[in-house]
Amino acid sequence: MIWWLENPARARSERQSVAELAERVSWLRNVRWYLSNSAALAVDFEIDHDGQSVPLTMTYAEFHPNAPPIVVPRDGSRLSSHQYGAGGNLCLEHRADNWETTITGAMMIESAHRLIAGERDGDGPELPSAHSTSIGQSVRGSYFRFLLTSPLEERLKAIEPGQSVEIGVAEKYHGETFTVTIAEIDGAADMRAWPPGIRETTKRGHAIRLPVGTPVPTATQDSIATLLGDLGFATMREQALAATGEMDLVLISGTDIAHFYAYDGSQKRHFGRSRILNVGGGTRLPDNYAVLATKRVGVVGCGSLGSKVAAMLARSGVRQFTLVDDDILFAANIVRNELGAPAIGVHKVDALKARLTEIAGTIDITVRRVALGGQESADSTDSVMSALQTCDLIIDATADAHCFNFCAAVAKGSLKPLVWGEVFAGGIGGLVARVRSGHEPEPHLARNQINGWCEAHGIPAPLAGFAAPYAAAAGDGAPPLVADDAEVAIIAGHLARFATDVLIQPNDSAFPVPAYAVGLRRAWIFSDPFETWPIQLAGSEPWKVEQDSASAAESLELLRELLPSAFNGHDQSSK
């Protein structure tokens, strides 16, 4: 887009305002407009201050007037402390963070004059700086970063001056960046700035508290070796002077902490200093989410919906999972699954376990490569159901009625809450539901009521088909409607909220009804996207009835018949 061709009136206005400024002040000279090689509108000008001429160039942005022009020294010099490096643009009063379309190029030139005059006026006050730098801006050129937590900083500063402490260093490479932290110091483990269990390289190093007044050395072999020799660390000095080999050294001088590293590369040993990143403490989760770390969640079905729900729960603080699915991930699954291309050809439960570990570090995950309700041995089915019985919550993300029957049986038998959901064919919406003993009807009855609710609206529920889930015919010869990743993620988000709600406040739910149909397109009963239909369910009796005395006696009689040798008459009442 060439803005000055599309908006010539603004371009004329810019030139006129600069001309008027040159007529009004004496310090603006030699104004010359032109087009740069990239067809950008630019103007050369000079600012006179105390007889010295400062040549500058202002180039209008491609998206002007919605973005500020750039003002730079024409000779490529470092003109001001309020500048992005030598030859870089000046940090003026009008910048990207406070830009408005009413600001003109003439106003930018006036701002440049105030900057130059203010900095060169020795008797005047120091110019205030509005140049704030984010942490991301400050380190984007640093590819070796040392992560420093508050507890780790306190521990390092507690080292006695002149003393050396052995440390365990953890290093990982991700996104073309090396990040380093201390995993263990003087025998105290779990000091990392990231959760244990993340893929990393560990090695040994030393932390040294420098004597008072001793500065941190430069990142060179000679300066580091000299310091170590002066401190009496002969072995470490020889290590620093070696021609090859890695080395990690953390030096503490007053309030300054520095991490130095040495490594071999290109037939030369390199020494460098990492950029320190202070890691804040605390959590971004509500306080009541802390209980999630003590809960185990069973996720049956680790496909598009189940994988996303599991990842959301891991981010919310769940640290114990039982994952059930017999399926393999293929390339076609990538369009909707939480998993990525490296997991192609892997069982979904195994790949999801690796993904959850990547999110949260070392957590307790049991995987079962079994199709619950499929053609499996009775032993396998019974074993999986027993594993699910130990969970605090069971989630059915299969959209398969046969599998639901097994999940429901486990939930009812163990009085554990059950949450299930599915994405409707074609991605027109989805369903999320939750049942708890003593609050909602037992799972089978609840599902029948939901199906009845759908049929009461004149159309059966558009449930995902087993053969081609997420797809539905569009009609009139149009291509089939297929649910995309965003649509599946929306239903997964609602399902995850149901799950956390059940685990955190099992008897005081934030959701007034136990089931919802959520629309994402205008179809079926949905007249608009994001239209939500609450589904009331009748019945809140406990799922298990207390055994009466007659039934208990019958059970005892059956047990006596099956295991006669275990009784030997000892269970008979005496008269």
CA 484 – CA 447 distance, rounded (Å) = 26
Buried b (16+ CB within 10 A) or exposed e, 258-290: bbbbbeeeeeebebbbbebbeeeeeeeeeeebe
Looking from the CA of 189 toward its CB, the CA atoms found within 13 Å total 3
Antiparallel, parallel or unpaired: β 515-519 and 429-435: antiparallel
Alpha helices in 158-276 (DSSP H): 221-230, 234-241
User: pTM (2 decimals)?
Assistant: 0.81
pLDDT at 467: 47
pLDDT mean by block of 10 residues, the chain; 575 residues? 90 96 95 94 94 94 93 92 86 89 94 87 55 75 91 93 96 94 87 90 96 94 96 96 94 94 87 92 90 98 97 98 97 95 97 97 96 90 95 96 94 96 91 96 95 84 59 68 92 98 96 96 92 95 72 67 65 49
CA 311 – CA 433 distance, rounded (Å) = 19
Nearest to 318 by CA among 282, 289, 287, 350: 289
pLDDT at 560: 65
Sign of the CA dihedral 563, 564, 565, 567? Answer: positive
The secondary structure of residue 227, as a DSSP letter, is H
Antiparallel, parallel or unpaired: β 418-423 and 393-396: parallel
pLDDT at 574: 44
CA 417 – CA 378 distance, rounded (Å) = 24
